[in-house]
Chains A and B, each alone.
Chain A
């Protein structure tokens, strides 16, 4: 009888412990937000630069997740990896005469590549409507961009800053509103990458020398 009571008591204790764990887990997950951004972006319209460019998106870049766990905020895990991979491949793919997606760099660089572009996320920040008292979600993303020549020497380093906002999350979850703001920021990053490439002095010089070489080649071909 005593053994039976002991058994029942231990079952009860186990059940209580399990229930407490479930409640604790629920409370913890209630404060953790996960956002996975999966954007598709249109190809830019405009002139292409006469270059063959290798694009190297590192594993960290393709699976980038921003994690934040501060005392004054809920826990946030924001995955932008897939969306930014789509963006850079689409925009860079339309910017140049030819592009090659590189799975590794600097080893095994194919012949004929004029420039290798390597982007990296430097920073991601966001604000919620209750923090700014403005009824919008805002996102800032900063990218470090690096360009190398065929020999692996650095040609240029520049920074892309992107901003995105979305109106209030009325009838939307915070996660969905933030994902929308990130997609707007990524579109902005694409626009800055496309329109700002030629404004980087080192790249301007690189493009000019490439164009000079091409026109000389053309003149030689015409003379022959």
Chain B
């Protein structure tokens, strides 16, 4: 029993541990952040590519990390915004360039809704996280004496995201932020598999959200 509880604690500890991840954030800025009280930001995923899809959970993660009304950042959830402006922000109809946005504003109902939301910035995130390589093997067996797994597995994940920040009121591109993250996860198995997971997508999300906060807020309030 003691052996089992020790094994359980070991695996729990290992789960809490995580593999190493490196995140590189780049920024290209054309204008200073101008987010004021009452302004809102919407973060949307690009979904027009047939080969990959910007993950909705990454968009949720960036939105939730960035949302902080106390520091002046109010983020509108993606699904709520896309539903409220259906069908103008669907993969097929979403504006690909800032110039197309001005055409969309010719529709009075669309303009009214955008203004009601108090949209100042639209942030488009494009990219995905994928497993680039994997190696090793783990075998599990069950017998009269008990069950267990033995082996070793490892896999690499890579995230590549780019966020384009559109200033909705000034109808211009404010800048771009890119987040590249890489990490290797390990899973040694000695009776019990012990996952050492590199949280690549999550770290890319946190890095991007922190950079976006600095980007969107005016210089004096960004340091708060």
Interface set of A (CB-CB < 8 Å, partner B) = 41-47, 134-136, 163, 165-167, 187-188, 190-192, 194-195
Contact = CB atoms under 8 A, between A and B. Distances in A.
B107 A46 contact: yes
A191 B109 contact: no
A45 B84 contact: yes
A30 to B, nearest CB: 22
A5 to B, nearest CB: 38
Given A190-B86, A191-B90, A46 B110 contact: yes
A47 B86 contact: no
B113 interface: yes
Contact of A45 (B50, B56, B88, B91): B88
B26 interface: no
Contact of B87 (A135, A167, A190): A190
A188 B109 contact: no
A194 B107 contact: no
A191 B93 contact: yes
Contacts of B86: 41-45, 187, 190-191
A47 B92 contact: no
What secondary structure prevails in chain A residues at the interface with B?
A: mixed
Interface in B36-79: 50-53, 55-56
A46 B109 CA distance: 6
B51 A195 contact: no
Contacts of A187: 86-87, 90
B85 interface: yes
Interface residues of B, number: 22
23 contacts: A41-B86, A42-B86, A43-B86, A45-B84, A45-B86, A45-B88, A45-B107, A45-B110, A46-B107, A46-B109, A46-B110, A134-B51, A136-B52, A165-B50, A167-B53, A167-B55, A187-B87, A188-B91, A188-B92, A191-B87, A192-B92, A194-B87, A195-B93
B83 interface: yes
Contacts of A46: 88, 107, 109-110
A187 B52 CA distance: 19
A163 B91 CA distance: 10
A41 B87 CA distance: 10
A211 B93 CA distance: 26
A167 B57 CA distance: 11
B113 A45 contact: yes
A167 B201 CA distance: 15
Q: Which one of B50, B86, B91, B109 has the highest number of Cβ atoms from chain A below 10 Å of its Cβ?
A: B86
A44 B110 CA distance: 10
Contacts of B90: 187-188, 191
Contacts of B83: 42
B84 A47 contact: no
Given A191-B93, A195-B93, A45 B53 contact: no
Contact of A47 (B53, B88, B93, B109): B109
Contacts of A135: 130
Nearest to B94: A191
Nearest to A191: B87
Contacts of B56: 167
A161 to B, nearest CB: 10
A136 B87 contact: no
A194 B90 CA distance: 12
A153 to B, nearest CB: 30
B33 to A, nearest CB: 29
A68 to B, nearest CB: 22
A166 to B, nearest CB: 8
Nearest to A188: B92
A47 B107 contact: yes
Contacts of B107: 45-47
B55 A42 contact: no
A188 B93 CA distance: 9
Nearest to B88: A45
Nearest to A194: B87
